[in-house]
Each structure stands twice: as C-alpha cells, then as structure tokens.
Structure 1
C-alpha cells in the first residue's frame, strides 16, 4: 500500500469536499429540483448531482486508474485495488425538508478496506479526517472514544437501510433499544452519527442492514478513534458487506451493548412467533 497515494488522496479530498459542501450550504433551503428516485421514498436534489460531479471530476484528474463508486453516478472506471466511495449529500431527505443535518462523505478503500475517510458538515464547518493508523481528527483536533460507566444512561445511534422500512424485526429491536437508553437517535444522516461516536458525543451505534457509500468513512473514523465495530455475533468487522448488521462502541461497552442487542432480537423473534399463533 503506497502511503504517498494516501497522502495525496487526503489533500485532494479535503480540498474538494469543502468545495462540494459549500455548494450544499449555498443551496440549503433554496434548491429547486427534487425527485424521488426509488420506491422507498429516497430523494435526489440538484445538489447531489452538482457536488458529485465536482468530486468525481477531481478524483479522475488526479487518480485516473482508480475506480469510483458514487451514490448517484454508480461505478466509474475499471476495477482497481483502489476504490473511492462518494456520498455527495448524506442526509438528502433532511436537506430536502430544510433540516440542517447532512454531510458530504469521501472514502478511499484499498483492497476492500478503508484507508482514508473524510466527512464534511458544511452547516457547522466541521471537517472530519481519518487515515488508517493515524487517528481521527475534527478540524485538526484529535478525537478519541469516551467511556461512561453506566451505558443505560447513554445515547445510542440507530442506522437502518432504506430497504428495511418497517421490517417487524427492525421495528421491535429499535423499540427495545429506545426504552433501554437515555436516548436512541435516528438522524437519517449516518456519517454524522459515526463522527459523533468517534468524538465521544454518543455512546454507541446499532446498524441494521445499511450498506452504502456513506458507511466505510464512518467505520474508519470510529476505529481510528479507539472504538470497535463488530457484527451481531460479536465478530470484528472488516472488509465490505452488502447486508451489514453492526454494533460500534467503546471496547469496554462491547459486551453490554452486544447483550442488549441480542436480547432485543430474541424478544422481537418471540413476539413475531406469538403473533403468528
């Protein structure tokens, strides 16, 4: 793995993500074009397309041999060890209703593992950068996971994929978590929640079948801040997965959060069985 490539990619990403983010900020509450793009109610705006165009063009100019996968454009370029994942507007539905909770996310993968994650929150001018082996930074300040002894008094982020909708098992698990923690947050902008966890603003994340171009920058942020990411079986998560079910938290919270999620899944399964009788 070429470290000079990662450094050059970092410099490029920081520059272009700010440019894309400023487009989103300037268009916030002023955009014109809004379309529904699938049967699950997900939407796309002119900002998604404008930001995406800027980012893809910049990457292609500097790294023409790298492959890119973007939220709207799909796959660009030939298969390569290097893969860029771009979400030009994570939180489009929030943006569309005038809720200032959205980011732009850029990830560089090497052989299916994240080595660079850059997330920009334009409305607060917060720039999160994480490089494999170098830690996680917000506006150049290092951040580390925080540990609170009483997890039940903590705040937990919930992330689910668009296709999950009101799947009964997900609904029951979500409710189970909601009544066992101080707050269960559902922002519909996953990268913000991953960054909040890395900063220590929340105490954990439960992700239910949500894979996309916004996922791997967040995973790197949390791991480089000292956190862990495991699947619902407790196995350390690495690589890429089309249908991930994940838990992320401080290492000392692993067993407790895993136990609570498992209890919620069992209770949900039992209730589903009872409903069928």
Structure 2
C-alpha cells in the first residue's frame, strides 16, 4: 500500500488497551470533525466487521507494543494499514506519542504519511497454522522442578538442506522486525525492518561457541524437527503449541505483509534503537549528512517537480488495489458503446488519485474520464484517465495503464503514465528529459517505414491495418493510447496512430513522447491540439524521421485522415 491511498480513508477502528478512555474520546471527536466513521474493540477481543468492508479503513492501536502486536494479528490479514499510538511506558514498534495523536492522523488522511511494509513469518505443522511479525521461539518446556533438565535438541533444515543440530535452550526464527527482541539478546544482528524481507535463525544459549545466527531469504522454507519435547511460541505466545519428540514445523515468510503507517511524528529507526535499546554507535547527539553527500532531494522543488512527485506517488498508490481486482471485476457496465467499458476499478483508482491531488493542490482543477470535474482557481488543471485499457483489464490482459497529465493554461506540461502489472513508470516535464523508471529514454532513429514497428489505436474498419501492414515491419494494438505513446517514447515503436482520442487519453503521453524526441501532430501534419471534453480527435506520433511518410500514406486513404 502506498501512502497517498490513505487519503481515501473512510473508517477508523481502534484496538484499545485498558485505561485509554480519554484518548478514545479525543479520537472520537477528531473522527467526527473529519467526517469519518469510528469504532473500537477492546484489546484481546476479535474484530468483527460491522462496517461496509468496501470502505477504506485505517486500524489504530492505543497502548504499547503488546497492543500493537494484537493489532497486527487482527488487521494484517485484512490488508488494513496500522497506526500505533503509544500510551505505554516502553514501545519500539509504536512511535507516535499520544500528544501528537490529532496531528499524526491529519497527516495520514491527507495522504502525506508513508506505509512501511513489514515482513511476517508463517508457521505450519504440529496442529499449528499461524502468522506472526516478530519471531518463533522453540525451546525446552519449563520444568516444574527448577533443577530439572532445561536443554533440548532441534534439527534445522533450509530448503531441504541440513543446517545442523541446535543443542541448547532452543532457537528463534525472527523477522527483521523481531530482530530487536529475543534474537538481539541472543547475539543476533539488528535489521532495519523497513521494507526488508529476510529471516534469521538464532541459537538460544547454545553449547557450541561456533554456532552463530544465520540469515536467509524470506522465501526459505525452514523445517525444524524436535529431537525432544519443546514448546513453540509465536510473537510471545499469541500462538503456541507443544512439540513432542519427532514433531516438525515449517517456518517461512508469510504471503501477506503488515502495512504500518509512519508519519513525520514518528522517531526514525536509528533514533528509536538509540533511545530505547542503548544503541552505542551514535551516543547522545545525532549528526547531519555532509552537504557534499546530500542528494538533490534535499533541494527546494520547483512547482512542476512538486507536482510530478505527488502525481507519481498517487499513481503508484493504485497498483495494489488494481492488481487485486485485475481480471475478476464483476460490476461491468457500458457507458456509450461496447468498446467503452467502465468498472468499479476505474472509480477506485480515480478516487485515490483525485483525493491525493485535491489534498495537495486545492487550487488546481481536475478533469477525469469518469466525469469528475473540479473547478480550480489557478492556471493548472489535471487530466486523469484512472484506467486506460479497461477492456483489457476486465478480461485479465496486463496491457492497461493509469495516466495523469497536468495542463497549464490549457497546454500539457507534465505527464505520468504507470503500468501496474509491469511496474513501469514513465514521467516527463515539458522541455526536460523523459524517463522510464528513473532512466532516460528516447525515440528510435529509424528512417524507413519498411523497417518500422507501428502501433494502432481503435481501428473500427481495419483501414489502418490494411493500409500499413504490408509496408511496415508490423502493426500492433495494445488497447491503451497512453501505453502506445510511452512505447513510442521508449523506442519500442516507431509510430503511433490513434483514430480518436479524448484529452485524458493522451495528455500525459504527449508530454512524455515529445520530451523523448517524438513528433506529435494531427493526421494532416499540423500541430496536435487537445480536443474538448466531448470531442475526439485523431493523432499521429512518430520518431520524427518517418513522420512525413506516415502522414502522406494516411492521406492516401481518406478514412484514416478524417
């Protein structure tokens, strides 16, 4: 989940520890003031779903790390992002102080917070099927008589290969988040858990000096076989089972991550370990990165650079929900004809993007394919196609995109196009370098139509295919005008023809293609003008070298140049 998606939150549910009545009252007032639904669950009780599950929901825990772990257990399987409010005495996972409650929440629903993906682990076997975020502890059962044996032997395997015998109190398998708990005390390394995917096997009070912690990838299948009786605890006992001699369990990275909301009111990771765990590497005073090493991200953004960053964050925020619905959308309706499908995914994507842009740029106008119209008071207007290639999308085809363009006084000056299935991002500001996933791109230098690859938009009677197929290397149609223009910009095609376009179809792609060196005109070769909202206009884009030849050939067929 991306932070900008948080701007669409409609409901907040809080898991509350005892003695938090005053904090709950503050939260109730804040949600009422912000028009959000609000409900609470006492810690230790299971969350039911009295709200509409289609609503965007934020989970909050009020308490310390123990309450937060309960929140992860309840929220993570539902894909609900979690924000922890610290009312405890010592908390490492929960880093928002209760005094900053309202400010941190306001930042969150404005889409300005970050979402930190945390690796979880999954344990199966021995009548246990559980997920946790910290660690799995396997150790000898506590004897009734303190002088009785406290040692157990465990065999460990990684992807079927024998790791070795752990002879001691037991072992811990931890995530990066859990690396600051038991595994740290046992000599394991500390991992920065932010978007970090790994597992570590840590011996507990081993009887061999050479046995050290072992780090493996998060998809490694760790099998542990008990040679003697042992107890297994997940996240401090939130799941537990007794192992008899010969029992085995499998531990690996969980398929689902925990989505933890981080705001500017949180301490950073290194401050947290310094203050809470006595991290000795930095002492009591922090230092600034030397100026020569600071990136350009620390410099003041221009107006368009700021707009590009926010638009990029917004389109990436829709990847997860669009991929979840891809190919299994049920509520499909037709807007004008059978080629113009709209689905619930269009509206979901549009809501996330427009909400993020409205929050960040309240004076900007917004126009969207799905009939959204926001009158702005500035020279800037956003043109949004929240799902270009809806027919492909509804049928499970990966060729769809999200397109966001920005106009200044009616002229396209910024473009962002994102392909969620391939995670490809094209961006450009007018007059600057076009980029694909942060790398510069440019059009081809082919100068012969016979050696060129063409892309076609909607071709109602097959005239373009018929007229050009024999004279070019090939003609392809993806079903997304924005992708066609981006492939032209990236050098994956030499020319693009679109039979008819709405402004939101091509505004972003035009900026990207022209910034990459493309020539964009109408079918007569004149400067292409964005059509009005209710109008459609044909478009031709080429690498520039074959443009005149393509235009001449189009005008040989009146059906293609109208």
Q: TM-score, normalised by structure 1?
A: 0.87
Point out the more displaced range, 142-151 or 92-101.
142-151
User: Which residue of the partner structure matches residue 55 of structure 1?
Assistant: 353
Point out the more displaced range, 90-99 or 249-258.
249-258
Which 5+ residue runs of structure 2 have no aligned equivalent?
1-300
Rounded to whole Å, the distance in 1 between the matches of 2:406 and 2:453 is 29
Q: Post-superposition shift, 1:232?
A: 1.9
Q: How does 1:13-28 map to 2 (within 5 A)?
A: 13-28=311-326
SS in 2 for 1:59: helix
User: Which residue of the partner structure matches residue 386 of structure 2?
Assistant: 88
**Measured at CA, do residues 268 and 6 of structure 1 come closer, stay the same or move farther in structure 2, by a change above 3 Å?**
closer
Q: Post-superposition shift, 1:9?
A: 0.8
- Measured against aligned partners, the alpha-carbon deviations of 1:219-255 in whole angstroms (never above 9, x if no partner) come to 1111100111122222232455533222211222121
**Measured at CA, do residues 41 and 202 of structure 1 come closer, stay the same or move farther in structure 2, by a change above 3 Å?**
closer
Structure with larger RCO (C-alpha < 8 A, sep 6+): 1
Runs of 4+ in 1 over 4 A off after TM superposition: 238-241, 266-269
1:258 aligns with 2:551: yes
Rounded to whole Å, the distance in 1 between the matches of 2:554 and 2:517 is 21
Q: Post-superposition shift, 1:181?
A: 1.7
User: Which residue of the partner structure matches residue 125 of structure 1?
Assistant: 423
User: Which residue of the partner structure matches residue 157 of structure 1?
Assistant: 455
Instruction: Kindly indicate whether the alpha-carbon contact (under 8 Å) linking 1:173 and 1:268 is maintained by their aligned counterparts in 2.
Output: no
Structure whose CA Rg is larger: 2
The partner residue of 1:211 within 474, 499, 502 is: 502
Rounded to whole Å, the distance in 2 between the matches of 1:53 and 1:39 is 24
The partner residue of 1:198 within 489, 502, 507 is: 489
- Measured against aligned partners, the alpha-carbon deviations of 1:170-201 in whole angstroms (never above 9, x if no partner) come to x4344212332221112111111111000010
User: Which residue of the partner structure matches residue 273 of structure 1?
Assistant: none
Point out the more displaced range, 25-34 or 47-56.
25-34
Q: Which has the higher helix share?
A: 1
Q: Over aligned residue pairs, what C-alpha RMSD do you find?
A: 2.2
User: Which residue of the partner structure matches residue 177 of structure 1?
Assistant: 468
Q: How many residues align?
A: 260
Rounded to whole Å, the distance in 2 between the matches of 1:137 and 1:175 is 33
Rounded to whole Å, the distance in 2 between the matches of 1:76 and 1:12 is 18
User: Which residue of the partner structure matches residue 106 of structure 1?
Assistant: 404
Q: Post-superposition shift, 1:79?
A: 6.1
Point out the more displaced range, 81-90 or 68-77.
68-77
**Measured at CA, do residues 176 and 8 of structure 1 come closer, stay the same or move farther in structure 2, by a change above 3 Å?**
same
Instruction: Kindly indicate whether the alpha-carbon contact (under 8 Å) linking 1:113 and 1:240 is maintained by their aligned counterparts in 2.
Output: no
Rounded to whole Å, the distance in 2 between the matches of 1:38 and 1:247 is 25
Instruction: Kindly indicate whether the alpha-carbon contact (under 8 Å) linking 1:155 and 1:204 is maintained by their aligned counterparts in 2.
Output: yes
SS in 2 for 1:209: strand
Rounded to whole Å, the distance in 2 between the matches of 1:66 and 1:79 is 6
Q: TM-score, normalised by structure 2?
A: 0.44
Instruction: Kindly indicate whether the alpha-carbon contact (under 8 Å) linking 2:328 and 2:394 is maintained by their aligned counterparts in 1.
Output: no
